[in-house]
């Protein structure tokens, strides 16, 4: 999905909202190498929108609506993201917060992973629309003056998963979904082809983890790209 500039204040706040529509295929797991050129990144004023990979990102999880034993799966997905980007993520414990449009000021940590439902249901998030949509990920990027120029960086990210749909997914698809949405939270857009985890449809036939194009994008957003 494309970057949407929802607000321009003194610090030029940019919000990227990136979702995923899953299809639960009946076929079994497959291993796909992917294409190292199949990735997409958000940019603004010729700068990649990314976290400062030389700082620590603190995160929390709201698992009140998630199945039991979901935390290790979320922690594993964040650990994979950390390994592929070189960004250090520190878990600060549980939270009681479901992401909403325009709600970044209330977000309790730099990164939040939460489980909610479509509007009209308990624990609703207005990022979720129901139907086949099971997850949404995005971030807030801000610009600040450094060395005489404005440098943009992601300062907050979020993942919200549909709590009604998540329990029906296989463990493999749950993991793929979490990694996909976390990819959005660090600045990845959707890939073009289903050989990549960042393809906008996730199911049992998707890669079980980041594929070649995803990894290229994560390196360009992570520690190998240098500090901000």
Pick the CATH number of 14-225 from 3.30.70.330, 3.40.50.300, 3.40.390.10, 3.40.47.10: 3.40.390.10
Does 29 have pLDDT greater than 60?
no
Q: What's the rounded Cα separation, in Å, for the pair 14 and 112? A: 18
Binned at pLDDT 50, 70 and 90, residue 33 comes out as confident
**What does the block give as tokens for 217?**
């994008």
Q: Cα(174)–Cα(163) distance, rounded to whole angstroms?
A: 11
Whether the per-residue pLDDT at 202 is higher than 80: the answer is yes
- pLDDT score recorded for residue 9: 27
The average pLDDT across 76-80 equals 98
pLDDT digits (tens, 9 = 90+) for 181-191: 999 999 999 99
What's the count of helices (H) and strands (E) in the chain, helices before strands?
A: 3, 8
- % of the chain at pLDDT higher than 90: 82
Instruction: Provide the CB-side half-sphere exposure for 56 (13 A, CA).
Output: 6
Q: Which residue has the higher pLDDT, 12 or 55?
A: 55
DSSP-based three-state secondary structure for 216:
helix
């Amino acid at each position: 999905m494309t970057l949407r500039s929802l607000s321009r204040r003194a610090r030029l706040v940019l919000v990227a909202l990136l979702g995923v529509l899953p299809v639960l295929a009946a076929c079994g797991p497959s291993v796909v190498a992917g294409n190292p050129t199949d990735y997409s990144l958000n940019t603004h004023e010729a700068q990649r929108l990314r976290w400062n990979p030389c700082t620590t990102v603190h995160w929390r999880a709201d698992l009140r609506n998630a199945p039991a034993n979901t935390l290790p799966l979320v922690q594993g997905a964040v650990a994979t993201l950390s390994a592929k980007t070189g960004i250090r993520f520190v878990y600060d414990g549980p939270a009681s917060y479901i992401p909403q449009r325009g709600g970044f000021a209330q977000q309790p940590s730099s990164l939040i992973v939460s489980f909610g439902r479509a509007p009209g249901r308990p624990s609703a998030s207005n990022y979720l629309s129901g139907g086949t949509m099971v997850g949404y990920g995005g971030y807030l990027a801000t610009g600040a003056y450094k060395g005489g120029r404005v440098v943009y960086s992601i300062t907050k990210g979020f993942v919200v998963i549909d709590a009604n749909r998540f329990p029906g997914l296989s463990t493999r698809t749950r993991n793929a979904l979490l990694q996909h949405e976390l990819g959005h939270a660090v600045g990845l857009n959707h890939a073009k082809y289903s050989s990549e985890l960042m393809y906008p449809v996730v199911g049992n036939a998707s890669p079980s983890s980041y594929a070649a194009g995803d990894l290229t994008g994560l390196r360009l957003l992570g520690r190998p790209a240098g500090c901000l």
